[in-house]
């Protein structure tokens, strides 16, 4: 069986393999910063057409793998950037990281295509493909980055995320892409255009009838723009810290109600630097300040967010709990450590310890906020199980992500979380893009990438709880199961009923 699945006869020819790879790469152009959704639909639709014409399930699976490899190679190309920060130590890993990540994630697409071909029909493919995209948000701690549904992050259709989150957007996207591959292509194209138009009109209507409601509170976002390759250099540490202090103290029309520094913006252990924290509070004129740094704990270092009071005292603390594999900790660390593979973002390469889990912090005069450090924001499941907050507060260091696509894709996911939860997002990023986002995903204020800046903005008011924030992925999971059971039942009926087979 394995030989049949992986042997030469099971694989499509090289021209078809290359075509699938290219179509997958085309599909990735719907992601930020390109946001070329027509090209994305063309690429995804082309893959569905190849699936439709695959003679066997193994050939369909290989087509899915090739398409996924092309898609993720483009969408996640920024993954090489962290390895180039310290190129002498980590540079050799860059091509392997992209190759294995793209190839590994593409296996999920291969499963979707292969299993769907066994079941039969385009509905099976759309359901399986959506299910595999959902699975990668939890598999091996999860990595739901550049999900197919993210192509709508800058378009009105994004508003559908309030109903069903990213899974609904993914299902909708693949349904639209599949239309022209039905037996009557023109009819299918018409149905696809109708679905696209309905989603677009619905989103535009939501945006036009829900103007952003501002509170009477203002926030100041500090963007020190510390280049990652210099960030921890002893000759530059003091300069970057002083830059952040100066930006904090910059004149304002009125004192901001909250000042937010980015992730790891304090270069010294937070629990060993009371003088530094006091100086930061002094520069803020006694206003509340959120800072990011590291805490030295009994179980190791922790990536930490702290709310400072008027005298620099620590009023509230949050420790990051969803750590980045191979960045903040190394799976199978002892074995891989012997090979010289250590966490890039961790102190001394030794890895971080995870915090106890999600928690709310109370911001004076603003109310409860859900703190998120860096890529914790990309996981909708981490936003569940707590009382509803007034905002999502993200601090991040996107300098790791380079300049091409990573920072833009991270910002796009912040917009998606805002719509899903019906909450504003306040994000401070070391090198950008710092932004304030309203509950409908509109950016009300933002900085530019790779510029030292301070951003003063009004804080948007939260909207009502959304359907998705209440029910999470469960309705979509149920829908996918029903679709697959129905398709399997239809296939069984056709296979045992000669009359149905003839029809």
Q: Which sign does the torsion angle of CA 108, 110, 111, 112 carry?
A: positive
Long-range (24+ apart) CB contacts under 8 A made by 92-100 are 93/341, 97/326, 98/73
CA distances from 381 to 8, 17, 331, 360 (A): 41, 35, 22, 15
User: Annotated catalytic, 320?
Assistant: yes
311, 278 contact by CB (below 8 A)? yes
Catalytic residue among 133, 231, 374, 376: 374
Q: Which sign does the torsion angle of CA 299, 301, 303, 304 carry?
A: positive
274, 303 contact by CB (below 8 A)? no
Q: Give CA–CA dist 205/185, Å, rounded.
A: 30
Task: Quickly count: other Cβ atoms within 10 Å of residue 501's Cβ.
Answer: 10
* The token pair that represents 217 in the structure block: 């509170």
451, 459 contact by CB (below 8 A)? no
* The token pair that represents 313 in the structure block: 């005292």
Q: Give CA–CA dist 181/191, Å, rounded.
A: 11
Contacts of residue 134, Cβ cutoff 8 Å, sequence gap at least 6: 167, 170, 473, 476, 477, 480
* The token pair that represents 419 in the structure block: 């719509």
- Environment class of residue 77 by beta-carbon count within 10 Å: exposed (0-12), middle (13-18) or buried (19+)? middle
Closest listed residue to residue 262, CA positions, set 244, 275, 284: 244
* The token pair that represents 170 in the structure block: 């993914």
User: Annotated catalytic, 263?
Assistant: yes
Catalytic residue among 133, 231, 320, 376: 320
Q: Give CA–CA dist 73/201, Å, rounded.
A: 33
Kindly report whether the peptide bond that precedes residue 433 is cis, defined as omega within 30 degrees of 0. yes
Catalytic residue among 81, 133, 263, 376: 263
Positions marked catalytic: 263, 320, 374
């Amino acid at each position: 069986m394995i030989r049949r699945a992986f042997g030469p006869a099971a694989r499509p020819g090289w021209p078809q393999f290359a075509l699938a790879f290219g179509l997958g790469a085309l599909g990735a152009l719907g992601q930020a910063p390109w946001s070329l959704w027509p090209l994305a639909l063309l690429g995804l639709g082309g893959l569905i057409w190849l699936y439709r014409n695959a003679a066997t399930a193994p050939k369909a699976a290989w087509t899915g793998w090739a398409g996924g490899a092309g898609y993720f190679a483009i969408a996640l190309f920024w993954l090489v950037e962290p390895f180039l920060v310290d190129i002498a130590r980590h540079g050799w890993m860059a091509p392997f990281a992209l190759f294995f990540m793209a190839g590994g994630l593409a296996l999920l697409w291969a499963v979707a295509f292969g299993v769907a071909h066994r079941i039969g029909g385009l509905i099976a493919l759309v359901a399986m493909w959506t299910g595999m995209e959902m699975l990668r948000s939890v598999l091996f701690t999860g990595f739901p980055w550049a999900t197919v549904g993210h192509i709508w992050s800058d378009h009105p259709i994004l508003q559908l995320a309030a109903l069903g989150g990213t899974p609904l957007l993914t299902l909708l996207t693949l349904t639209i892409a599949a239309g022209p591959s039905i037996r009557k292509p023109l009819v299918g194209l018409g149905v696809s255009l109708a679905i696209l138009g309905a989603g677009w009109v619905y989103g535009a209507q939501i945006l036009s009838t829900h103007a952003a409601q501002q509170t009477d509170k203002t926030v100041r976002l500090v963007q020190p723009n510390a280049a990652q390759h210099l960030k921890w250099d002893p000759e530059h540490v003091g300069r970057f810290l002083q830059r952040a202090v100066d930006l904090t103290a910059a004149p304002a029309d009125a004192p901001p109600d909250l000042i937010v520094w980015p992730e790891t913006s304090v270069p010294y252990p937070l629990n060993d630097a009371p003088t530094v924290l006091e100086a930061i509070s002094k520069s803020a004129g006694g206003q509340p300040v959120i800072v990011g740094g590291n805490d030295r704990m009994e179980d190791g270092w922790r990536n930490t967010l702290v709310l400072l009071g008027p005298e620099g005292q620590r009023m509230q603390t949050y420790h990051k709990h969803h750590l980045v594999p191979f960045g903040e900790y190394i799976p199978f660390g002892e074995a891989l450590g012997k090979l010289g593979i250590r966490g890039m973002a961790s102190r001394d390469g030794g890895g971080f310890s995870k915090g106890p889990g999600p928690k709310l912090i109370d911001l004076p005069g603003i109310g409860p906020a859900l703190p998120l450090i860096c890529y914790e924001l990309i996981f909708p499941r981490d936003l569940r199980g707590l009382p509803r907050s007034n905002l999502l507060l993200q601090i991040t260091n996107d300098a790791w992500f380079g300049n091409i696509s990573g920072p833009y894709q991270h910002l796009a996911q912040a917009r998606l979380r805002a719509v899903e939860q019906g909450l504003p997002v306040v994000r401070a990023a070391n090198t950008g893009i710092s932004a304030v986002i309203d509950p409908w995903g509109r950016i009300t204020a933002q900085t530019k990438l790779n510029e030292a800046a301070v951003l003063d903005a009004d804080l948007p008011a939260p909207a009502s709880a959304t359907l998705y924030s209440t029910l999470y992925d469960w309705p979509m999971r149920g829908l996918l199961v029903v679709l697959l059971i129905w398709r399997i039942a239809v296939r069984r009926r056709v296979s045992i009923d000669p009359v149905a087979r003839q029809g």
